[in-house]
Amino acid sequence: MTIITAFCSSGTGKTTLLSHLAYYCALQDIETVLIELDNRNSLGTCCGLPESDFSTSNIFNPKFSGNYKLLPLWEENLKGKARVCQAKREELLATEQFLSSQPLGILRLKQVLQKYPLPQPLILLDSPGQEGIMSSSAILASDYVILSIEPTPKAMNDAIRFVEILLNYEEQYGIEVPQILGIVVGLYNHDISMARSIIEQLPEIADKINTQLFSPIRYSSEFLNSYEVGLPLNVFRPGHEGVKDFYIDGNIFKSMSQKRLRGLNRNHLENLPAIASYIVNLVKQENA
């Protein structure tokens, strides 16, 4: 079981990223579970989920005994190879309060997933962007964290600060903290000079924090539209170039003319690894 979460700042496209990862991994025959740890229930919207009796709070319940009642995700396309557990706002708020009152409440998710492992090889934890009991629970329960950032200077600082958060956890809880899998820039618009400049600077920052830069996910209003109707872009607009940003290395840069690249290093950019293909290989290796 490989557990991955995405973190950094709010609104950087984490839920979009994780739901599309679940879609792609399931299509590649990697059974995947997506668990929502966000009390705003954005997963319900972006995955078009129906109401369910079982929600994330049940997993944290002291009486939980491993009976995960998960819903299929985009069943028509994925045939049950991806499943989800969504949060219910009021219940998750109560769970957050309960966990905050417990001395080691922050480690509860890690302990439950260890005690009652899921049969699926890949677990994706969708947590809120800001620091809090749920994002900390997700980070501490994970093997890997993807730093999901917007192409802004603030996000770069957040990425560096995240390393401090990890070191702090290590010191405070004396447990092994997750490895930073890499940095994914979401909402990338190559026509904005700030975005291009951030993409140029990020490899150095990635190096500094001992990780790598993945290929960015482009900004497209079609991501927004597909989110609102509860479908992955793959189904909403099959053939849309944005879909390939997840699984073709350096995809967004591949079709760019030299003029449009505006002096950026083509060779480097075209070889940035695509996040979804990278994770498929990782999970295959770890579960071989």
Ligand X SMILES: Nc1ncnc2c1ncn2[C@@H]1O[C@H](COP(=O)(O)OP(=O)(O)OP(=O)(O)O)[C@@H](O)[C@H]1O
Which residue's CB is nearer to ligand X, number 105 or number 128?
A: 128
Query: Least Å distance between CB 50 and ligand X?
Result: 19
The answer to whether residues 35 and 123 touch, using CB atoms and an 8 Å cutoff, is yes
Which does residue 10 bind out of ligand X, Mg ion, none, counting CB within 5 to 8 angstroms by kind?
A: ligand X
Among ligand X, Mg ion, none, the one that 16 touches (CB under a kind-dependent 5 to 8 A) is ligand X
Give the sign of the dihedral formed by CA 163, CA 4, CA 9, CA 105.
negative
Q: What is the DSSP string of 62-94?
A: TT--S---PEESSHHHHTTSEEEE---HHHHHH
Q: Going by DSSP bridges, is the β-strand pair 71-72/82-85 parallel, antiparallel, or unpaired? A: antiparallel
Helix, strand, coil percentages in the chain from 3-state DSSP, rounded to 5: 50, 15, 40
Output 13 or 250, the one with its CB closest to ligand X. Answer: 13
Assigned token pair, 142 = 């994970």
- Which position's Cβ is nearest Mg ion? 15
The item of Mg ion, ligand X, none sharing an interface with residue 157, based on CB under 5 to 8 Å by kind, is none
Decide whether 15 or 251 has the Cβ nearer to Mg ion: 15
Angle at 93 between CA 137 and CA 100, to 5 degrees: 50
Which residues are at the interface with Mg ion (CB under 5 A)? Answer: 14-15, 42
Q: How far is the CB of 275 from Mg ion (least distance, A)?
A: 16
User: Measured from the CB atom, is 11 or 66 closer to ligand X?
Assistant: 11
Instruction: Convert 20-61 into a string of H (helix), E (strand) and C (coil).
Output: HHHHHHHHCCCCEEEEECCCCCHHHHHCCCCCCCCCHHHHHC
Give SS3 for 7. Answer: strand
Q: Which residue is nearest to ligand X (CB)?
A: 129
Contact residues toward ligand X (CB under 6 A) are 10-16, 38, 42, 128-129, 186-187, 217-220, 223-224, 227
List the single partner that 13 binds among Mg ion, ligand X, none, CB under 5 to 8 Å by kind.
ligand X
User: Of ligand X, Mg ion, none, which one sits near residue 81, judging by CB under 5 to 8 A according to partner kind?
Assistant: none
Measured distance CA(8)–CA(145) in Å, rounded: 10
- Among candidates 12, 15, 10, which has minimal Cα distance to 186? 12
CB of 139 to ligand X, least distance (A): 14
280 binds, among ligand X, Mg ion, none (CB under 5 to 8 A by kind): none
**Whose Cβ is closer to ligand X: residue 187's or residue 275's?**
187
Reading the block at residue 189, the tokens are 């618009």
CB of 44 to ligand X, least distance (A): 12
